[in-house]
């Protein structure tokens, strides 16, 4: 009985691993959405909101300088300019883009986010 259990566990582990990088995704697929864009000097910047993880979710903001297209595994071939996870114990007040330095500044206040406010953030110019 113990051998059957070990064999089952090994088969389950192999079936969940990413041996084939083709169309296979990890067990949990991130949720991604473009939540804002802004045009500066004929260049469009895109702000992407990503939620990653299974039970302990991590919220992430990503900045792209060309429109990212995400596959069914939430990956993009477009290179990210900036990416940072958001602090879970604070509320985001502003997201500032500094195009001359190609940086993103996220400002916070103390408090617990309501769970939806981060998905409607807007880019502002610094």
Q: What is the pLDDT of residue 100?
A: 85
Q: What is the pLDDT of residue 16?
A: 54
Q: What is the pLDDT of residue 28?
A: 87
- One pLDDT digit (tens) per residue for the chain, 126 residues: 666 666 655 555 655 554 455 568 888 899 999 999 999 989 999 999 999 988 888 999 999 999 999 999 999 999 999 999 999 889 999 999 998 887 889 999 998 888 788 889 999 998
pTM exceeds 0.85 for this model: no
The values of phi and psi at residue 83, to 5°, are -155, 135
Q: What is the pLDDT of residue 116?
A: 83
- Contact present, 33 and 48 (Cβ < 8 Å): yes
Domain ranges of the chain: 26-125
Alpha carbon of residue 26 to chain centroid: 15
Q: What is the pLDDT of residue 103?
A: 84
Q: What is the pLDDT of residue 34?
A: 96
- Tokens describing residue 50: 């990503």
């Amino acid at each position: 009985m113990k051998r059957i259990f070990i064999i089952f566990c090994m088969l389950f582990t192999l079936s969940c691993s990413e041996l084939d990088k083709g169309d296979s995704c990890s067990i949990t697929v991130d949720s991604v959405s473009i939540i804002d864009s802004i045009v500066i000097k004929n260049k469009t910047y895109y702000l992407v909101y990503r939620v990653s993880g299974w039970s302990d979710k991590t919220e992430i903001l990503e900045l792209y300088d060309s429109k990212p297209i995400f596959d069914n595994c939430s990956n993009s071939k477009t290179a990210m300019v900036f990416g940072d996870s958001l602090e879970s114990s604070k509320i985001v007040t502003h997201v500032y883009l500094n195009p001359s330095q190609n940086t993103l500044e996220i400002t916070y206040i103390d408090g617990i986010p309501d769970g939806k406010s981060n998905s409607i953030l807007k880019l502002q110019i610094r």
